[in-house]
Structure 1
Amino acid sequence: MSDDRLGRWVPDRPEDVAAVFHTGDFPWWIAGGYAIELAVGPELRAHSDLDVLVLRRDQARVRVLLDGWDLYVADPPGQGKLRPWHPGEVLRPPLHDIWCRRTPETPWSIQLMLDEAEGAHWVSRREPTVRLPIDRLGRTSETGIPYLAPEVQLFYKAKATREKDEIDFEAVLPLLDDPARAWLADAISVIAPEHPWLVRLLPVSRR
């Protein structure tokens, strides 16, 4: 999440990110609210930042791709402190949040998120029992932009829901098929067994 104390944000658009990342030899996905919009089609609301999710094991390739950018890692995460991400530096857990801008004089434009993986499976950095095959982690928009599967994005939004997260949930819920709903319900049940979204996701027989 962007923090005004750390500088101004003018987030890129998904197509801007695709222009930068399309040459990368690693998987990546638009995440956050933009991922929800890529799933539903129309714009839903204003965005203060733009998230891109990559796997931690691919961070060296990401660092090379963004060579020349001004890159800072949140260290410690969530404490409003940034430090440079130096070339060749390996970021280990719990570090996962990288702020990116093209030069020190330009606004922040991309928030890069590192997530975990084991073999062919994505592993949630928040709860390692929550997993998904990597080939099911994302979708592709009509314009060819990869984005995080809505059920995975909603899982991350479920931790501490805000008004914008409720907007995203309502918009994308009708698009979730039964397997996606079941996976999301199971994942949320692990971290928040009383979460109000569960009533909307679970069939009556499982409530």
Structure 2
Amino acid sequence: MPQERSGQSWEPAHLAEVVDLFSQTSCPWWIAGGYAVELAVGRPFREHEDIDVLLLRRDQYAVHDLLAGWELWAADPPGTLRPWLRGELLPFGVHDVWCRPGPDAPWQIQVMLDEADGETWVSRRDARVRRPLDRLGTTAADGTPYLTPEVQLFYKAKAPRPKDEQDFTEVRPHLDREASAWLAEALSVAYGPHPWAETLQNGKGD
């Protein structure tokens, strides 16, 4: 994550508040990050430092419409926060936006922008890793859209932290054969040999 700015820290918005906000748009969106993993598992199992929402880059202007009046700051690599003004098109490589209601408020929502080619999702980590958009996410029993756990784990696998290892352990039994095979292949393509791929291929955790 970029460094905190102006002494403001994170106080993530509640999941229900985020869902209410983003449900007002007609463009596709998905709860991502650790909350997506918990939605797949069906129960909370750890605390969260932030809350992530994924949109496609081509729909990025919807964020300004949904969060009108909020401060939106883009994280420009290698991690510098700068204001994202209405009308500016964030280019490839800038995919992380921090959002807060005002200058003295804590950060509450993190928006992630991902790539698409027509009706195909294209990983920003490795363009060889792709998936039909209609299989990028799924829906919880209450109607909340969230990123499928295999796609979320693919992103977490680049440099897994203890919480990412916990997420993998918790959600692994909920991955069906197809999801496990997709994730193992995606990990191998993007990252080379990976311990999670070995676990998935060996059927550990079944």
Aligned length: 202
Q: Displacement, 1:4? A: 4.1
Q: How does 1:1-207 map to 2 (within 5 A)?
A: 1=1, 3-4=3-4, 7-75=8-76, 77-79=77-79, 81-203=80-202
Distance in 2 (CA, whole Å) between partners of 1:78 and 1:29 is 25
Offset from partner CA, 1:130-161 (integer Å, 9 cap, x none): 00111101111122111100000000011001
Evaluate the alpha carbon distance shift between residue 163 and residue 32 of structure 1 in structure 2; reply closer, same or farther with a 3 A threshold: same
Partner AA of 1:19 in structure 2: D
Q: Which runs of 4+ in 1 moved over 3 A?
A: 1-6
Q: Displacement, 1:5? A: 5.2
Q: Displacement, 1:203? A: 4.7
**Structure 1: gaps spanning 5 or more residues:** none
Partner AA of 1:61 in structure 2: A
Partner AA of 2:89 in structure 1: V
**Structure 2: gaps spanning 5 or more residues:** none
In the superposition, the TM-score normalised over structure 2's length comes to 0.94
Q: Displacement, 1:2? A: 6.3
Distance in 1 (CA, whole Å) between partners of 2:115 and 2:97 is 15
Distance in 2 (CA, whole Å) between partners of 1:12 and 1:78 is 26
Partner-residue secondary structure (3-state), 1:112: strand
Partner AA of 2:183 in structure 1: L
In the superposition, the TM-score normalised over structure 1's length comes to 0.93
Q: Displacement, 1:62? A: 2.2
Offset from partner CA, 1:19-42 (integer Å, 9 cap, x none): 101110100011111100111122
Q: Displacement, 1:107? A: 0.7
Q: Percent identity?
A: 56
Query: Aligned-pair RMSD on alpha carbons?
Result: 1.4
Partner-residue secondary structure (3-state), 1:73: strand
